[in-house]
Structure 1
């Protein structure tokens, strides 16, 4: 009996010890949080908007805003995905949660603020007027009776229409899928002028400086910001912080110098 009791006690001890180890392991596992996947930010853009965002000869999306977004995402510890969208439907893409942010030379306007939450401005821009070098057009007044173009859904359209007196004097105002197509029509003589974001226009004009001229007058000054859903205040705050740090430590200025030859960060 004593031997049997001893065996039973030893067996019970082994079972309890085993349970203790399993309970300890389970408790430890519960106390250690499972590793979380890196956050991902999907950025909507027009991929034919050089130098802000466009495809290079390898068909890869590159540009000033691309470099800025990559750096900001890195500082947030997040992955970034660039998703080309129909820029004229950008607000629907954002509100429909198909993208998390709009980062592609997006102008901050009071109208857009109704549906989009913006970061603080990171760049100042003008709506310039590009004409053929030999056109003889020197001022906005000279656009009377002329055919003028701009990218559909761009702030250039809003800026032109805001100048009611000049706008009503156009023979025709045409919109295009992108600025490159508009400038092609200008080169072909189907347009007399193109209104375009300065950062984009000067980049494109520099490629064919002998063909184009930029007027001294423009259709106004504006600020660029990153757009997010109005209820996504967390992402907005994080992007604001990252952009502020990038300005302060000079990283944003270095990216600007790479694409524009100088620091044009606001």
Structure 2
């Protein structure tokens, strides 16, 4: 469990990916790699028409990057490769031939916000507050920036990034376009997730794939772009400011 868990199951042309980690569903590098591979495999599976992305437990959707691994980074290449993990996931979601529904049952921080933004349609509960806290530890949400800005716009992204210690609630996220719908409970949300997934799974798969491409038109340069962003984050994570901030956070 130190590297987390990831399960994929398919039923009625609907694939569900469920990830988890004891540390608030945060992502070590290995789990990011497994998620990327799973999305790529489902993209090529003709039996799958739509994907649901969810996390384990009830409280936190995703706490972003693994702090334990961030602390251990000692070279630029290690830093770049770690942040490429998130870049690869976002690119896999972007280029996936299937529409991806996000089930956001709890708080999302940093990379967790990036995952939600890379989904094509997100359901959330009132507990699904969001925060981009990267500046507080001396880095920034560079890798996820293109995905988040694409979904909520530059002004909202600026507000979320610069006000790095404050949570924005689920209704703020819905107003800005990150979430399509917000529910009082996971039970209500799950019912609507199932309804939409089953509707989409019954539509023309070719039409769904073409619509997916239409939704992501203009992002064709993201493979190179996100690699450049990963390099920026990889450099910053080596700074004394960030090393000290991570140690304080750990304590």
Do both share a fold (TM > 0.5)? no
Relative to total residues, which structure has the larger strand share, 1 or 2? Answer: 1
When normalised by structure 1's length, the TM-score is 0.24
State TM-score, norm by structure 2.
0.25
